[in-house]
Amino acid sequence: MRNEPTMKTITELPRTIVNRIKSDRGDALITTAVTLIALLALVALSVDVGMAYSERRKMQNAADAGALAGAWVLIDGGTDAEVFSAIQEYTVGQNEADSFEAVYLPSEQPVGDGFVPADSIGVRVTARVTVPTFIAGLVGVDTMSASGEAGGGFSPVDIVLVMDRSGSMDDDSCSLGPNLEPCAGYVTQGTCESCGGSWYLPPQPITDAKNAAKTFVDLNNPNLAHIALASYSHDYTLDQGLTENFNQVKSAIDALNAAGCTNAAGGLLRGREELTGSRRRPEAIPIIVFLTDGLPNKGLTSADSCGGCPDYCPVAKDAARNQATLAAQDHIVIYTIALGDKADQGLMQDIADITGGTSYYAPTSADLDAIYQSIFDQIRLRLIE
């Protein structure tokens, strides 16, 4: 009868084989431990690097918001303390930065030193934060820092205010009201009394229009904006060339008087000539703010003008559109204001659309202040690079 082979137990194996098995088990434990440490490091890296990226984005948002806020205050002519406060609010207050640094450009003068350098055209803001790590602390990295930087200079702006001084800018001053029949021409003929009415002072709506225009001038910062004045009735004039002396511009506005027909094309021409002439600044954004309360009836030649001062004159409207087209070719943006129910809102919309501007409607002259404020807000958005 044949004996069957039996399996030897491990204790029956040669000692060298047993030692080799134990050694293999130890190597496996070491390898496993090293692998776990490596995986832990990778987890720490992925989690904390992801958090670092998130904080970096947050600080970039803080710097962007702070730079924009400081820029708006600066362009409004704010003080150094006001610029500093605005930046602090939007970096630390609203976007949770630990700290920030800000300087005026191009001087690199720190914001918060007590004054705004005269040549300031912008601000640069750096926002910073330090946060604890979650897992990297296990390998000795307890905190990490993130920062963001934003800002830059403004584009300067050249603005021509083009104001209507035709007779209808005074017709609200007649006690019988504007556009009274049968005295359709009473404003330009000076016959309010002969129609049974009398003149009120000050003349309206031109007085409100002048006051609103002067308020708009004061909104601007002379370090960035140069402003001119052109006006039109049957004729069209440049009343003040581009200047940073805003008092001169306001004096020219005060000197306007209302009479005559409506030559919108001529007003646009004078504005365009000034923005392409010797006083223009090549680096400045050219802008016209155009106000009218009526319907064009005169143009640059007899071919685009109508006799008298009629409400309907298609050739005069076409002449105004042509001037807007030429302005667009010169990269001039036109903001238009149609004042009152007789203003040609459709034409004003066309002119704004042709040049990439915005058209506004003011039902009464009391609405002009708010509209000029809106235009100012639109312009300063264009200035921030």
What's the order of all strands across the beta sheet hosting 285-292?
236-243, 225-232, 157-164, 285-292, 333-339, 359-362
**pLDDT bucket at 165, cuts 50 / 70 / 90:** very high
Mean pLDDT of the region 86-109: 94
- The pair phi, psi for residue 250, each rounded to 5°, is -65, -35
**Residue labelled with tokens 């330090």:** 130
**pLDDT bucket at 143, cuts 50 / 70 / 90:** confident
- Cα dihedral 258, 260, 261, 262 in deg (nearest 10): -30
Task: Output the pLDDT for position 145.
Answer: 87
Crossing angle for the helix pair 368-383 and 206-219, to the nearest 10 degrees: 30
pLDDT above 50 (res 188): no
Burial string for 317-326 (b: 16+ CB within 10 Å, else e) reads bebbbbbbeb
Q: What is the pTM of this model?
A: 0.72
Report how far apart the first and last C-alpha atoms of the chain are (Å, whole number): 103
CA–CA separation, 129 and 86 (whole Å)? 18
Q: Is 227 helix (H, G, I), strand (E, B) or coil?
A: strand
**pLDDT tens digits, one per residue of 264-284:** 999 999 999 999 999 999 989
Half-sphere exposure of 259 (CA within 13 A, CB side): 6
Q: Output the DSSP codes for 123-175.
A: EEEEEEEEEE-SSGGGGT--EEEEEEEEEEEBPPEEEEEEEE-SGGGGGGGBT
Q: Which has the closest alpha carbon to 355: 316, 315, 384, 382?
A: 382
Strand 285-292 with 333-339, pairing:
parallel
* Alpha-helical segments (H) within the chain: 15-75, 80-88, 186-189, 206-219, 246-254, 264-275, 314-329, 345-355, 368-383
Task: Output the pLDDT for position 194.
Answer: 63
**pLDDT bucket at 136, cuts 50 / 70 / 90:** low
**Residue labelled with tokens 């001529």:** 266
**CA-based torsion, 21, 26, 29, 32: positive or negative:** negative
pLDDT above 80 (res 179): no
Mean pLDDT of the region 129-140: 70
